[in-house]
A and B are shown apart, each in its own frame.
Chain A
Amino acid sequence: SQKIEQNSEALNIQEGKTATLTCNYTNYSPAYLQWYRQDPGRGPVFLLLIRENEKEKRKERLKVTFDTTLKQSLFHITASQPADSATYLCAGNTDKLIFGTGTRLQVFP
């Protein structure tokens, strides 16, 4: 079945460092991947979308890559801040969005 897989272990990093989160997809080829932020008890908030023909997309301190050979997307937050602490969800589309379980990021001062 179509799957989006993210590292379920929490990522703990120090403020100011770059956080890198990984998303892998299996058994399908999404036309694009999306990244969302989810805070506890809240709905996902859209961050970035990258299409399969794009290698990289940036928005302020965020950067996303899409490697169709590795079937992988990387999500980077540079100069991370404690306010970036949240769960980050990767989602791939076919005719519907398929979400990964998310990776919890904790940025400590």
Chain B
Amino acid sequence: EPEVTQTPSHQVTQMGQEVILRCVPISNHLYFYWYRQILGQKVEFLVSFYNNEISEKSEIFDDQFSVERPDGSNFTLKIRSTKLEDSAMYFCASGGIRGNNEQFFGPGTRLTVL
């Protein structure tokens, strides 16, 4: 069964450093998403991406964040200058034909900012 994959599973970085989190969505999906979940808190929407552009973003997704689909398979989230409060699980998700229908989540990347 196809699944969303994410790398790395755990990323440790120093405050102020740039990180890139990588995702490979399900191959025939058209809609891509990033979410984050701070330990013990709810899953929070960051950004959705369709047709090679951002379709929606939350107030969390400020200028420090960017997303890219550099080729036909990868979907990346870049945090330019990490802050302590960026420490969280970051989940990538992809969806099929229509946006915001059922979404398939990856296993997540745990980001720890020191």
Contact = CB atoms under 8 A, between A and B. Distances in A.
A101 B43 CA distance: 7
A42 B108 contact: yes
Given A95-B56, A96-B56, A96-B58, A44 B100 contact: no
B32 interface: no
Interface in A23-59: 32, 34, 36, 38, 41-46, 49
Interface size class of A (residues with CB under 8 A): 20 to 34
29 contacts: A32-B101, A34-B103, A38-B43, A41-B89, A42-B107, A42-B108, A43-B4, A43-B106, A43-B108, A44-B43, A44-B91, A44-B105, A45-B105, A46-B102, A46-B104, A49-B101, A49-B102, A89-B42, A91-B43, A93-B100, A95-B56, A95-B100, A96-B48, A96-B58, A97-B33, A97-B45, A99-B43, A101-B41, A101-B42
Interface of A: 32, 34, 36, 38, 41-46, 49, 89, 91, 93, 95-102
